[in-house]
Amino acid sequence: MIATSVPPAAASRPLTGHDYKTLALAALGGALEFYDFIIFVFFANAIGQLFFPPEMPDWLRTLQTFGIFAAGYVVRPLGGIVMAHFGDLLGRKRMFTLSILLMSVPTLAIGLLPTYASIGLAAPMLLLLMRVLQGAAVGGEVPGAWVFVAEHVPARHTGYACGVLTAGLTFGILLGSLMATGLNTAYQPAEVLAGAWRWPFLLGGLFGLASMYLRRWLHETPVFAEMAQRKALAADMPLKTVLRSHRAAVAVSMLLTWMLSAGIVVVILMTPALLQKIYHIDARTSLVANTLATVGLALGCVFYGMLADRVGPKPVLLVGALLLAICTWVFYTTLRTQPELLLPLYGLTGFFVGVVGAVPCVLVQAFPPQVRFSGLSFSYNLSYAIFGGLTPVVVTLMLKNDPLAPAYYVIAVCLIGMLTALFVRKAQS
């Protein structure tokens, strides 16, 4: 494999207006695509009632609904591996743009699907198929976005670039939360079930088209362009090289992705529905609180990313994971006795989840440029498929025995993340 070096002046230069434009367009496009992927979870209760038999026990309906949501994570590795393979050989930008089309079409289709009352068991099966297609698309989007922005900025700003991009993806969650809050404010629960739930998915299809248009203005990364010019691209199948020569980087990346998925899936995506079911907090209040937590998450991603540039990702992950574990415990244990503290506690917990903004910096730096997209995509998506996909199901099953199950799960994974941070290394390019 031919190494690719970056001139010292290029690695240390300040950020330019072009860099900020690239970050802004990439983050906005990522937000719109991520909205398409996660809007499902904000309407999980309505979808569960509409797409499964009415006589089904409530806990089983919730489990199966989250199971369909999780299916999107299970297929992420396949989409990610294929897109990353061509991204390492043909260019980052092409795959970065293609993923949007593959996301927007099934999102639009979900908004048009008939329910169980109309077509019976075919309804949840079609819903499952659409989630599978969404998962394949997002499998290429998130890793591709991190690689794209990291290779556009100087090396000393990698953490900031990845943090901003992750905040952009987080903004997609915020869009979903605001959409759900608005619908639950404007419509009664019966009206949401009657058809208002479809609007967020229909709009998501339009968001996808807007994202495709925005990415027309982006350029190929300087790192890939330089490798292509020097004919220094991977000589072998990129994934084969990753599995042969970078197994330690894959292991570290997968474990840190587990922490990332636990924080986002449990604290941000699952908690609004859990607040309603376990703590009997109304849907509107739960979603307003989730909006605050998501804003906190976005700010935290940028903060922790910048901090990783200054002091290195290892201490940031060690301290950040510890703070997240502590705050998660305080959040879930306090709500039972002091529900009036929901808004500030959820917002603060969201900020501490922002430690995940330092994770992509580690993942990008763990693999050399020739196989970076494939290495990051394989590790991240496989981990999300295993851990992120199973998290909603595991937490839901644990909830049958203990209402503090979400806290126990997040704390345990934070401890794993702290141990993994000790083994963080940069790849030799």
Of 274 and 99, the structure prediction assigns the larger pLDDT to 274
Sequence letter at residue 376: L
The per-residue pLDDT for range 324-355, each reduced to its tens digit, is: 999 999 999 998 888 889 999 999 999 999 99
Distance in angstroms (rounded) separating the CA atoms of residues 356 and 319: 12
Give every CB contact of residue 58 below 8 A, 6+ residues apart in sequence.
Answer: none
Residue 4 has pLDDT above 50, yes or no: no
- 80 vs 221, residue with greater confidence: 80
Indicate whether 202 belongs to any domain: yes
Residue scoring higher pLDDT (7 or 30): 30
- pLDDT for 87: 66
Is 215 part of a structural domain of the chain?
A: yes
The CA-based dihedral angle spanning residues 96, 163, 324, 378, taken in that order and rounded to the nearest 10 degrees: 30
Angle between helices 122-150 and 58-74 (to 10 degrees): 40
Q: What's the pLDDT tens digit per position in 353-390?
A: 999 999 999 999 999 888 888 889 899 988 988 887 78
Tell me how far apart the alpha carbons of residues 107 and 92 are, in angstroms, rounded to a whole number. Answer: 24
d(CA 304, CA 261) in angstroms, rounded, equals 16
Among 34-48, 56-70, 223-237, 279-293, the range scoring the smallest mean pLDDT is: 223-237
Count the domains in the chain: 1
8 Å CB contact between 373 and 144: yes
- Using alpha carbons, select from 408, 393, 316, 424 the residue that is nearest to residue 71: 393
Helix %, strand %, coil % of the chain (to 5): 85, 0, 15
Q: What is the mean pLDDT of residues 161-189?
A: 87
**Tokens 């002046």 identify what position?**
9
Residue 322 lies in a domain: yes
The residue with greater pLDDT, 330 or 81, is: 330
Comparing 8-17, 82-91, 136-145, 251-260, the range with the smallest average pLDDT is 8-17
What confidence tens digit (pLDDT) does each residue in 105-158 have?
899 999 999 999 899 999 999 999 999 888 888 887 788 888 888 888 888 889
Question: How many Cβ atoms are within 10 Å of 397's Cβ, its own excluded?
Answer: 12
Cα dihedral: 250, 253, 259, 261 (round 10): -80
Q: With respect to residue 157, please indicate whether it lies within any of the assigned structural domains.
A: yes
Residue 2 lies in a domain: no
Region of poorest pLDDT, from 23-32, 158-167, 338-347: 23-32
Match 């570290």 to its residue by tokens: 252
Alpha-carbon distance of 193 to 336, in angstroms, equals 29
Domain membership flag for residue 9? no
Q: What's the rounded mean pLDDT across residues 29-35?
A: 80
For tokens 């934070």, what's the residue?
Answer: 414
What are the tokens at 264?
Answer: 């986002």
CATH number at residue 29: 1.20.1250.20
pLDDT at position 91: 64
- Quote the pLDDT of residue 178: 84
226 CB-contact burial (10 Å; exposed 0-12 / middle 13-18 / buried 19+): middle
Among 39, 420, 369, residue whose Cα is nearest residue 254: 420
Query: 174: domain range?
Result: 17-421
4 in a domain, yes or no? no
Cα-atom radius of gyration of the chain, to the nearest Å?
A: 21
> Over 50: is that where the pLDDT of 8 sits?
no
Taking alpha carbons only, the member of 169, 173, 139, 179 closest to residue 46 is 179
Q: What is the pTM of this model?
A: 0.80
Asked whether residue 370 is domain-assigned, the answer is: yes
pLDDT tops 80 at residue 286: yes
Confidence of residue 206 (pLDDT cuts 50, 70, 90): confident
